[in-house]
Structure 1
Amino acid sequence: MAGIYIHIPFCKTRCIYCDFYSTTQSELMGNYVESVCKELETRKDYLHGEPVTTIYFGGGTPSQIQKHHFEQIFKTIDNVYFNSQLSTLNSQLEITLEANPDDLTPDYLKDIASLPFNRISMGIQTFNDETLKLLKRRHTAGQAIEAVKNARTAGFHNISIDLIYGLPSESLENWRADLNTALQLDVQHISAYHLIYEEDTPLFAMLKNHTVNEVGEEDSNLFFAELIDTLTAAGYEHYEISNFCLPGKQSKHNSSYWDGSIYLGCGPSAHSFDGINRMWNVSSLTSYIKGMEQGTAISEQEILDDDTRYNDLIITSLRTSKGLDLELLEKEFGEEYLDYCLKMAQKHLNTNLLKHIGRYLCLTRQGIFVSDGIMSDLLRI
């Protein structure tokens, strides 16, 4: 099984916390689409013939792309990867569009409903209008709520929303209000991430200048506990550290990253993995277009040695509720790696931060809160 990720870098404005590659050069949208289609065609063999089961349009702001551009990209995907059978296979695939709430007007949703998309992932972040203004988000809380309703009316019944907690000066009361509003929307999937002050972002500069205040570790843990307790009590499965879903509604595309599946990433800054190496395209729209005009994406790659592959397995699998498959570990890397893993895990098993469930090694409820440290202990450095 394989996935295709398409990075759409266009944004109307930049959010002050985001360090993903994006650009406001919308005048290059046509050239970008031509380049992505060419990359999709020229890199087909990267997936080694594995059937494509997920397609994910991320960004940037994919909802800045109009219907005719999507049609051009889907036509290429259909011809190259599905032998012109995408329309008949659509119900078996997961095809996701990331979107900003203010873009999801009834007219726009009507347009994209006629395309192969069957899942929408909406970046809401918070329902607090004052904080949305601080973050330079383009939407209001009211627009976010309306966007979910509009999407459902347009026929989308697999909707995910993103939330951020640990926002500047956030209180537990504010976070509870965000969670309660999210539950009222009755969406199928909720991703919730702690705010990270990334270097070279305006928000990081504001933190250093004491314009905003970072929440403390104790409050961060309270927010995370509230997240877990509130969503699981409402029937959501906590299937990955930052992700919750109603039964059967896991993000199949993101899950492929955590289970080691191969994927092709197209577009500027997009990453790819073929089981042997990692590749990433240049983080520049103009350089990306120039490279594709000359026949190939400008990219770098890393050939993974056994230690790196083992470390990747630890980091990705322990994030999930399923955990680390010890039989798979031994099959892939041998007894030496298995013995090392179990030796380093023993102290965390003794303190109930890790647990054995059959062939799997999993984080406990207590372990989730200190997962970074546990994973670090199991790595081969």
Structure 2
Amino acid sequence: MSGIYIHIPFCKQACHYCDFHFSTSLKKKEPVLKALKKELILRKDELGGATIETIYFGGGTPSLLTTDEILDLVGTVQVNYTVIEDPEITLEANPDDLSLERIKTLAGSPVNRLSIGVQSFFEKDLKLMNRAHNAQEAKQVLDWATQYFKNISIDLIYGIPGLTDQEWQENIRIALASGVPHISSYALTVEPKTALANFVAKGIVPEVDDEQAQRQFLQLVQELESKDFINYEISNFGKAGYFSKNNTAYWLGKSYLGIGPSAHSFNGTHRGWNVRNNQTYVKAIEANELPIEIEELSVKDRYNEYIMTGLRTVWGISLERIANEFGHNYAKYAKMQAQKYVAEHLLFLEDNIFRATRKGKFLVDGIASDLFMVKL
């Protein structure tokens, strides 16, 4: 089973924290959409006939597309690939794009999962991040969406400068009250060359407080787990039966095809990424060329990738799998490197599988890097 990710590189406006590839001009939307369809066709044999079980529209802001434009892309996948009968089709959407009529139209389409970029229910946070919607719109959209979609995820951000623990608790409360079965939540990070990085450098916005972020993350884990959400990946919480199939495939190392400018692909042994420029992307596709760089992954690379993704999940990293796929020396190395984190109660070993403790989850990226194989 494989998945297809389609990157829609357009946004109404730039969020201050975002470093994803997008354009705020829609002038090139039509040629980009034509190129997306053509790339799907050009690469139809790349997955070796693997069955597609997920189609994910990410961005950017995919909800800027009309429903017909989305259906056109889904149809191109269905014609050129082997797709399971009821694939998970996710559309990332912003609240300001989701009128009641739009939600009804989407509910009657093949799209069966919405990922709604709420981020916060407080106006001051939305303004700091330069979001295009307001808090009332977010609440209204969730009320409408839950009437027509069963499978909904919302995004929330913690660690925002000025976000108190009490306000964060209220964000969690409102999210839970909406009845959505999946919540993705991320710490605000200051990425280089973003507006937020510039504001922090100039002292306009305070620096992100790591202690605040860790505290609010633990607050989130405790509250959601008490309401039957499973923290199946560090940033993702789902009720049983509502884990993101698209994201789960990524964390479990399944192959996926990334379509569109800046999109990444993976087939188990090679990783590829498309050029981060809309015009260059379109010109290449029009010339029947793939504007993609490909990296062949060594055994060491694949081991490190497994550590990085696996340790973030509820499934952890299996010493048996490491030994079978990468060799016994890798398994011995992973076990040796993990011991100090077990002693510090940041990892635990059960059934020959290392998993992060609740205390260790927030620190798991740093822990994983210490388990990476640097030399052979």
TM-score, scaled relative to structure 1:
0.96
| DSSP 3-state at the match of 2:45 | helix
Tell me the matched-pair count.
374
Task: Give the C-alpha shift of residue 90 in structure 1.
Answer: 4.3
Contact 2:159–2:210, Cα closer than 8 Å, also in 1? no
Please, which of 129, 132, 137 is the counterpart of residue 131 of structure 2? 137
Alignment of 1:12-27 (within 5 A): 12-27=12-27
Choose 323-332 or 12-21, whichever is displaced more: 323-332
Whole-angstrom CA distance in 2 between matches of 1:16 and 1:222: 23
Give a deviation string over 1:95-136, Cα, whole Å, max 9, x none: 100000110101212222232111000000000012211211
Find out whether 1:124 has 2:115 as its counterpart: no
Task: Give the C-alpha shift of residue 365 in structure 1.
Answer: 1.7
Alignment of 1:296-375 (within 5 A): 296-375=289-368
Please, which of 252, 277, 282 is the counterpart of residue 284 of structure 1? 277
Contact 2:146–2:179, Cα closer than 8 Å, also in 1? no
Contact 2:125–2:163, Cα closer than 8 Å, also in 1? no
Runs (4 or more) in structure 1 with deviation over 3 Å come to none
Whole-angstrom CA distance in 2 between matches of 1:95 and 1:210: 42
Contact 2:156–2:183, Cα closer than 8 Å, also in 1? yes
| Identity in percent | 43
Find out whether 1:186 has 2:179 as its counterpart: yes
Which residue in the other structure is 1:37 paired with? Answer: 37
| DSSP 3-state at the match of 1:58 | strand
Please, which of 246, 249, 253 is the counterpart of residue 256 of structure 1? 249
| DSSP 3-state at the match of 1:47 | coil
Which AA in structure 1 matches 2:57?
F
Which AA in structure 1 matches 2:171?
D
Which AA in structure 1 matches 2:114?
I
Give a deviation string over 1:37-84, Cα, whole Å, max 9, x none: 1111111122122111111000000000012211221221110013xx
Which residue in the other structure is 1:71 paired with? Answer: 71
- Relative to structure 1, the CA distance from residue 370 to residue 70 in structure 2 (aligned partners, 3 Å threshold; closer, same or farther) is closer
Which AA in structure 1 matches 2:63?
S
Contact 1:169–1:212, Cα closer than 8 Å, also in 2? no
Choose 274-283 or 366-375, whichever is displaced more: 366-375
Which AA in structure 2 matches 1:271?
H
Which residue in the other structure is 1:114 paired with? Answer: 108
Q: Which runs of 5 or more residues in structure 2 are unaligned?
A: none
Whole-angstrom CA distance in 2 between matches of 1:132 and 1:106: 22
Whole-angstrom CA distance in 1 between matches of 2:72 and 2:365: 42
Give a deviation string over 1:175-230, Cα, whole Å, max 9, x none: 11111111111101000100000111111100010101124232222111111111
Contact 1:167–1:214, Cα closer than 8 Å, also in 2? no
| DSSP 3-state at the match of 1:46 | coil
Which residue in the other structure is 2:203 paired with? Answer: 210
Which AA in structure 1 matches 2:146?
R
Task: Give the C-alpha shift of residue 236 in structure 1.
Answer: 0.8
Whole-angstrom CA distance in 1 between matches of 2:276 and 2:196: 21
Task: Report the aligned-residue RMSD.
Answer: 1.2
| DSSP 3-state at the match of 1:26 | coil
Please, which of 230, 241, 248 is the counterpart of residue 234 of structure 2? 241
Whole-angstrom CA distance in 2 between matches of 1:75 and 1:218: 47
| DSSP 3-state at the match of 2:247 | helix
Whole-angstrom CA distance in 2 between matches of 1:196 and 1:350: 29
Find out whether 1:5 has 2:5 as its counterpart: yes
Whole-angstrom CA distance in 2 between matches of 1:232 and 1:80: 41
Give a deviation string over 1:261-288, Cα, whole Å, max 9, x none: 0000000100000111111101111111
Whole-angstrom CA distance in 1 between matches of 2:108 and 2:319: 44
Task: Give the C-alpha shift of residue 350 in structure 1.
Answer: 2.5
Which AA in structure 1 matches 2:45?
D
Which AA in structure 2 matches 1:176?
Q
Whole-angstrom CA distance in 2 between matches of 1:171 and 1:269: 35
Contact 1:265–1:272, Cα closer than 8 Å, also in 2? yes
Contact 2:189–2:208, Cα closer than 8 Å, also in 1? no
